[in-house]
Amino acid sequence: MFGRRKREDVARAEETREAERRALFEQLAKRPEHVCPFLGLSSDRAGYQAEPNAEHRCYAFGDPAPLSDEQQRHVCLERGYSNCPRYLRGVLVIPTEELEALRRPQPHVPLPPPPPPKLRPADERPARRPWMVALPLLLVLVAAVGAGGWYLLGRNPGVGILPSGSPTATASGTVGPSGSATGLVTPTPLPTPTTGDVFVAYQVGVGPETYQLFKVDDAGNVTATVSITFSRFSHARVQPVTAANGLRHWRTVDGGLAGYSYIAGRSGAFEIRKLYRSPDGHQHAIVVPPDQV
Protein backbone atom coordinates (compact mmCIF):
# COMPACT_ATOMS: atom_id res chain seq x y z
CA MET A 1 0.00 0.00 0.00
CA PHE A 2 2.77 2.38 0.96
CA GLY A 3 4.73 1.56 -2.19
CA ARG A 4 1.72 2.23 -4.42
CA ARG A 5 1.07 5.59 -2.78
CA LYS A 6 4.72 6.55 -3.25
CA ARG A 7 4.60 5.65 -6.95
CA GLU A 8 1.45 7.74 -7.36
CA ASP A 9 3.13 10.72 -5.65
CA VAL A 10 6.16 10.38 -7.94
CA ALA A 11 3.91 10.18 -11.01
CA ARG A 12 1.96 13.29 -9.98
CA ALA A 13 5.19 15.19 -9.34
CA GLU A 14 6.52 14.19 -12.77
CA GLU A 15 3.26 15.30 -14.42
CA THR A 16 3.54 18.66 -12.65
CA ARG A 17 7.14 19.14 -13.80
CA GLU A 18 6.20 18.15 -17.35
CA ALA A 19 3.33 20.66 -17.40
CA GLU A 20 5.66 23.40 -16.11
CA ARG A 21 8.24 22.58 -18.81
CA ARG A 22 5.61 22.70 -21.55
CA ALA A 23 4.29 26.03 -20.27
CA LEU A 24 7.83 27.42 -20.10
CA PHE A 25 8.77 26.47 -23.64
CA GLU A 26 5.45 27.65 -25.03
CA GLN A 27 6.16 31.01 -23.40
CA LEU A 28 9.72 31.08 -24.80
CA ALA A 29 8.39 30.34 -28.29
CA LYS A 30 6.51 33.66 -28.22
CA ARG A 31 9.71 35.68 -27.96
CA PRO A 32 10.92 37.91 -30.82
CA GLU A 33 13.12 36.08 -33.32
CA HIS A 34 16.23 38.06 -32.33
CA VAL A 35 16.13 37.03 -28.62
CA CYS A 36 17.85 33.75 -27.66
CA PRO A 37 15.41 31.30 -26.02
CA PHE A 38 18.07 30.31 -23.49
CA LEU A 39 18.34 33.88 -22.17
CA GLY A 40 16.62 34.43 -18.84
CA LEU A 41 16.79 36.35 -15.58
CA SER A 42 18.39 35.02 -12.42
CA SER A 43 14.97 35.18 -10.71
CA ASP A 44 12.79 34.30 -13.72
CA ARG A 45 13.77 31.65 -16.29
CA ALA A 46 11.28 32.96 -18.86
CA GLY A 47 11.96 36.68 -18.28
CA TYR A 48 14.37 38.95 -20.13
CA GLN A 49 15.10 42.62 -20.72
CA ALA A 50 15.41 44.26 -24.14
CA GLU A 51 18.83 45.70 -23.21
CA PRO A 52 21.91 44.14 -21.52
CA ASN A 53 21.22 43.55 -17.83
CA ALA A 54 23.32 42.23 -14.96
CA GLU A 55 20.46 39.87 -13.99
CA HIS A 56 20.57 38.04 -17.34
CA ARG A 57 21.71 34.41 -17.27
CA CYS A 58 22.29 31.72 -19.91
CA TYR A 59 20.16 28.58 -19.31
CA ALA A 60 21.48 26.58 -22.29
CA PHE A 61 22.96 23.84 -20.09
CA GLY A 62 24.34 23.33 -16.59
CA ASP A 63 24.01 26.04 -13.97
CA PRO A 64 22.72 29.45 -15.17
CA ALA A 65 25.78 31.32 -16.43
CA PRO A 66 26.29 35.10 -16.09
CA LEU A 67 26.79 37.07 -19.32
CA SER A 68 28.85 40.13 -20.16
CA ASP A 69 27.11 43.20 -21.57
CA GLU A 70 29.02 42.74 -24.83
CA GLN A 71 27.93 39.10 -25.15
CA GLN A 72 24.29 40.08 -24.52
CA ARG A 73 24.33 43.03 -26.92
CA HIS A 74 26.06 41.30 -29.85
CA VAL A 75 24.94 37.67 -29.41
CA CYS A 76 22.03 36.97 -27.04
CA LEU A 77 19.90 39.90 -28.22
CA GLU A 78 20.76 39.56 -31.92
CA ARG A 79 19.67 37.15 -34.65
CA GLY A 80 23.17 35.65 -34.70
CA TYR A 81 22.63 33.86 -31.36
CA SER A 82 22.13 30.60 -33.29
CA ASN A 83 25.91 30.56 -33.95
CA CYS A 84 26.75 30.75 -30.24
CA PRO A 85 28.55 27.59 -28.98
CA ARG A 86 26.41 27.51 -25.82
CA TYR A 87 23.21 27.69 -27.89
CA LEU A 88 24.42 24.91 -30.21
CA ARG A 89 25.22 22.71 -27.21
CA GLY A 90 21.95 23.57 -25.49
CA VAL A 91 19.75 22.43 -28.38
CA LEU A 92 21.52 19.06 -28.31
CA VAL A 93 20.60 18.29 -24.69
CA ILE A 94 16.98 19.47 -24.40
CA PRO A 95 14.14 16.99 -25.16
CA THR A 96 12.85 16.86 -28.72
CA GLU A 97 9.34 18.06 -27.85
CA GLU A 98 10.76 21.09 -26.07
CA LEU A 99 12.99 21.89 -29.04
CA GLU A 100 9.95 21.72 -31.30
CA ALA A 101 8.15 24.13 -28.97
CA LEU A 102 10.96 26.63 -29.50
CA ARG A 103 10.73 26.28 -33.26
CA ARG A 104 6.91 26.32 -33.43
CA PRO A 105 5.81 29.27 -35.58
CA GLN A 106 3.35 31.72 -34.13
CA PRO A 107 -0.12 31.96 -35.75
CA HIS A 108 -0.27 34.51 -38.53
CA VAL A 109 -2.63 37.40 -37.89
CA PRO A 110 -3.56 39.07 -41.19
CA LEU A 111 -3.45 42.83 -41.36
CA PRO A 112 -6.73 44.65 -41.96
CA PRO A 113 -7.21 45.73 -45.58
CA PRO A 114 -6.40 49.37 -46.31
CA PRO A 115 -9.38 51.73 -46.72
CA PRO A 116 -10.40 52.37 -50.33
CA PRO A 117 -9.08 55.62 -51.82
CA LYS A 118 -11.45 58.53 -51.93
CA LEU A 119 -12.20 59.58 -55.50
CA ARG A 120 -12.67 63.21 -56.29
CA PRO A 121 -14.72 64.65 -59.14
CA ALA A 122 -12.88 64.86 -62.42
CA ASP A 123 -12.88 68.63 -62.38
CA GLU A 124 -11.08 68.62 -58.99
CA ARG A 125 -8.30 66.18 -59.94
CA PRO A 126 -4.93 67.90 -60.30
CA ALA A 127 -3.42 68.15 -63.74
CA ARG A 128 -0.36 65.99 -64.48
CA ARG A 129 2.73 68.02 -63.79
CA PRO A 130 5.86 67.89 -65.97
CA TRP A 131 8.02 66.49 -63.16
CA MET A 132 5.75 63.42 -62.93
CA VAL A 133 6.64 62.61 -66.54
CA ALA A 134 10.37 63.16 -66.01
CA LEU A 135 10.56 61.10 -62.79
CA PRO A 136 10.47 57.63 -64.48
CA LEU A 137 13.23 58.71 -66.87
CA LEU A 138 15.33 59.90 -63.93
CA LEU A 139 14.88 56.55 -62.14
CA VAL A 140 16.00 54.66 -65.25
CA LEU A 141 19.12 56.86 -65.47
CA VAL A 142 19.99 56.28 -61.80
CA ALA A 143 19.57 52.51 -62.21
CA ALA A 144 21.87 52.52 -65.23
CA VAL A 145 24.57 54.46 -63.37
CA GLY A 146 24.25 52.13 -60.35
CA ALA A 147 24.57 49.05 -62.55
CA GLY A 148 27.74 50.45 -64.08
CA GLY A 149 29.22 51.14 -60.65
CA TRP A 150 28.34 47.58 -59.55
CA TYR A 151 30.13 46.20 -62.63
CA LEU A 152 33.24 48.25 -61.89
CA LEU A 153 33.35 46.91 -58.33
CA GLY A 154 33.63 43.37 -59.68
CA ARG A 155 33.26 40.59 -57.15
CA ASN A 156 33.50 42.68 -53.98
CA PRO A 157 29.90 43.85 -53.32
CA GLY A 158 30.71 44.89 -49.76
CA VAL A 159 33.74 47.02 -50.70
CA GLY A 160 34.00 50.34 -52.50
CA ILE A 161 37.42 51.41 -53.83
CA LEU A 162 38.08 55.15 -53.70
CA PRO A 163 40.86 56.79 -55.75
CA SER A 164 44.02 57.37 -53.74
CA GLY A 165 45.28 60.20 -55.91
CA SER A 166 48.73 58.73 -56.41
CA PRO A 167 50.10 55.22 -56.97
CA THR A 168 53.17 56.07 -54.89
CA ALA A 169 51.70 57.72 -51.84
CA THR A 170 53.84 58.38 -48.78
CA ALA A 171 53.53 56.46 -45.51
CA SER A 172 51.66 59.24 -43.74
CA GLY A 173 48.29 57.60 -44.44
CA THR A 174 44.95 58.72 -43.05
CA VAL A 175 44.07 58.16 -39.40
CA GLY A 176 40.73 56.36 -38.92
CA PRO A 177 37.93 57.39 -36.57
CA SER A 178 39.74 56.10 -33.50
CA GLY A 179 43.29 56.99 -34.55
CA SER A 180 44.49 53.54 -33.48
CA ALA A 181 43.86 49.82 -33.85
CA THR A 182 41.82 49.65 -30.66
CA GLY A 183 38.66 51.52 -31.62
CA LEU A 184 36.87 48.59 -33.28
CA VAL A 185 34.37 46.42 -31.40
CA THR A 186 33.52 43.21 -33.28
CA PRO A 187 29.73 42.63 -33.15
CA THR A 188 30.01 38.87 -32.52
CA PRO A 189 33.29 38.05 -30.74
CA LEU A 190 34.39 34.42 -30.74
CA PRO A 191 34.86 32.47 -27.47
CA THR A 192 38.37 32.39 -26.03
CA PRO A 193 40.60 29.35 -26.75
CA THR A 194 40.73 26.42 -24.35
CA THR A 195 43.05 23.46 -23.82
CA GLY A 196 43.46 21.43 -27.00
CA ASP A 197 42.73 24.29 -29.42
CA VAL A 198 45.18 24.70 -32.34
CA PHE A 199 46.35 28.07 -33.70
CA VAL A 200 45.18 28.56 -37.30
CA ALA A 201 45.99 32.08 -38.48
CA TYR A 202 45.93 35.80 -37.76
CA GLN A 203 42.88 37.78 -38.86
CA VAL A 204 42.28 41.49 -39.32
CA GLY A 205 38.82 42.76 -38.35
CA VAL A 206 37.33 45.88 -39.94
CA GLY A 207 34.04 47.73 -39.61
CA PRO A 208 31.74 49.65 -41.95
CA GLU A 209 34.22 52.51 -42.44
CA THR A 210 36.82 53.79 -44.91
CA TYR A 211 40.35 52.42 -44.48
CA GLN A 212 43.79 53.20 -45.94
CA LEU A 213 45.80 50.14 -47.01
CA PHE A 214 49.44 50.25 -48.04
CA LYS A 215 51.91 48.39 -50.23
CA VAL A 216 55.10 48.12 -48.15
CA ASP A 217 58.46 46.85 -49.45
CA ASP A 218 61.03 44.89 -47.43
CA ALA A 219 62.81 48.08 -46.39
CA GLY A 220 59.60 49.53 -44.94
CA ASN A 221 58.88 52.07 -47.68
CA VAL A 222 55.25 52.60 -48.69
CA THR A 223 55.07 52.25 -52.48
CA ALA A 224 51.30 52.55 -52.96
CA THR A 225 48.11 53.18 -51.02
CA VAL A 226 44.43 52.59 -51.63
CA SER A 227 41.26 53.75 -49.86
CA ILE A 228 38.71 51.00 -49.16
CA THR A 229 35.17 51.51 -47.89
CA PHE A 230 33.65 48.42 -46.23
CA SER A 231 29.87 48.20 -45.97
CA ARG A 232 29.84 45.71 -43.08
CA PHE A 233 32.01 44.07 -40.40
CA SER A 234 34.33 41.47 -41.92
CA HIS A 235 37.61 39.59 -41.39
CA ALA A 236 40.51 38.49 -43.61
CA ARG A 237 43.66 36.47 -43.03
CA VAL A 238 46.84 38.49 -42.52
CA GLN A 239 50.44 37.82 -41.57
CA PRO A 240 52.61 40.03 -39.29
CA VAL A 241 55.59 41.67 -41.02
CA THR A 242 58.36 43.77 -39.48
CA ALA A 243 60.29 45.72 -42.13
CA ALA A 244 64.00 46.52 -42.03
CA ASN A 245 63.29 50.00 -40.68
CA GLY A 246 61.18 48.56 -37.84
CA LEU A 247 57.78 49.33 -39.39
CA ARG A 248 55.21 46.83 -38.12
CA HIS A 249 52.40 46.02 -40.56
CA TRP A 250 49.83 43.29 -41.23
CA ARG A 251 49.86 42.05 -44.83
CA THR A 252 46.64 40.59 -46.27
CA VAL A 253 47.21 37.10 -47.68
CA ASP A 254 43.93 36.33 -49.44
CA GLY A 255 41.09 38.01 -51.33
CA GLY A 256 41.20 40.94 -53.72
CA LEU A 257 43.35 42.99 -51.31
CA ALA A 258 46.14 40.40 -51.01
CA GLY A 259 49.52 42.12 -50.69
CA TYR A 260 48.17 45.30 -49.07
CA SER A 261 48.90 45.96 -45.41
CA TYR A 262 47.18 47.49 -42.41
CA ILE A 263 49.29 49.83 -40.27
CA ALA A 264 48.24 50.80 -36.75
CA GLY A 265 47.53 54.52 -36.43
CA ARG A 266 47.39 54.99 -40.20
CA SER A 267 44.85 52.56 -41.65
CA GLY A 268 41.91 53.28 -39.34
CA ALA A 269 40.18 51.43 -36.50
CA PHE A 270 40.94 47.73 -36.94
CA GLU A 271 41.74 44.77 -34.68
CA ILE A 272 44.02 41.77 -35.04
CA ARG A 273 42.98 38.46 -33.53
CA LYS A 274 44.61 35.04 -33.29
CA LEU A 275 42.26 32.40 -34.62
CA TYR A 276 42.16 28.89 -33.10
CA ARG A 277 40.20 25.74 -33.96
CA SER A 278 38.93 23.37 -31.28
CA PRO A 279 38.96 19.56 -31.67
CA ASP A 280 35.21 19.63 -32.45
CA GLY A 281 35.72 22.16 -35.27
CA HIS A 282 34.54 25.35 -33.53
CA GLN A 283 36.49 28.57 -33.95
CA HIS A 284 37.92 30.43 -30.95
CA ALA A 285 39.96 33.64 -30.90
CA ILE A 286 41.81 36.17 -28.77
CA VAL A 287 42.39 39.80 -29.73
CA VAL A 288 46.07 40.84 -29.97
CA PRO A 289 46.88 43.63 -27.46
CA PRO A 290 47.34 47.08 -28.99
CA ASP A 291 51.04 47.27 -28.04
CA GLN A 292 51.67 44.16 -30.19
CA VAL A 293 49.78 45.48 -33.22
8-64 per-position pLDDT tens digit: 888 888 888 878 877 877 888 788 888 998 899 999 888 899 899 999 999 888 889
**Whole-number Cα distances in Å, 72 to 34, 95, 169, 187, 269:** 11, 25, 43, 11, 23
What is the residue range of 189's domain?
A: 159-292
CA distance 271 to 264: 9
Task: Give the residue ranges of DSSP H helices in the chain.
Answer: 2-28, 69-71, 85-93, 96-103, 130-153
**The model's pTM:** 0.41
Q: How far is CA 200 from the centre of its chain?
A: 21
Asked if the structure places residue 124 within a domain, the reply is: no
CA distance 5 to 253: 72
83-114 per-position pLDDT tens digit: 888 888 887 777 655 555 555 544 444 555 66
60-79 per-position pLDDT tens digit: 888 899 999 888 988 899 87
> Which residue did the predictor score with more confidence, 278 or 163?
278
Residues 166 and 279 reside in one and the same domain: yes
Residues 6 or more apart from 76 whose CB is under 8 A from it? 35, 36, 39, 56, 58, 67, 84
Residues 89 and 189 reside in one and the same domain: no
Contact 268, 175 (CB under 8 A): yes
Contact 206, 230 (CB under 8 A): yes
What residues pair up with 276 in beta bridges, in sequence order?
Answer: 199, 284
> Which residue did the predictor score with more confidence, 269 or 181?
269
Mapped onto helix, strand or coil, the DSSP state of residue 139 is helix
Residues 78 and 175 reside in one and the same domain: no
Final residue in a domain of this structure, among 85, 103, 121:
103
Amino acid 106: pLDDT: 45
Residues 219 and 285 reside in one and the same domain: yes
CA distance 209 to 207: 6
Asked if the structure places residue 125 within a domain, the reply is: no
Asked if the structure places residue 39 within a domain, the reply is: yes
180-216 per-position pLDDT tens digit: 344 565 666 788 898 999 999 999 999 888 999 999 9
Final residue in a domain of this structure, among 63, 79, 103:
103
CA distance 127 to 131: 12
- What is the number of structural domains in the chain? 2
Amino acid 284: pLDDT: 92
Best CA proximity match to 257, nearest among 288, 229, 290 = 229
Residues 163 and 283 reside in one and the same domain: yes
Residues 283 and 196 reside in one and the same domain: yes
Residues 75 and 169 reside in one and the same domain: no
Residues 84 and 163 reside in one and the same domain: no
What residues pair up with 204 in beta bridges, in sequence order?
Answer: 236, 272
| Residue 280 exposure: Cα atoms within 13 Å on the Cβ side | 8
Give the CA diameter of the chain.
95
Residues 79 and 184 reside in one and the same domain: no
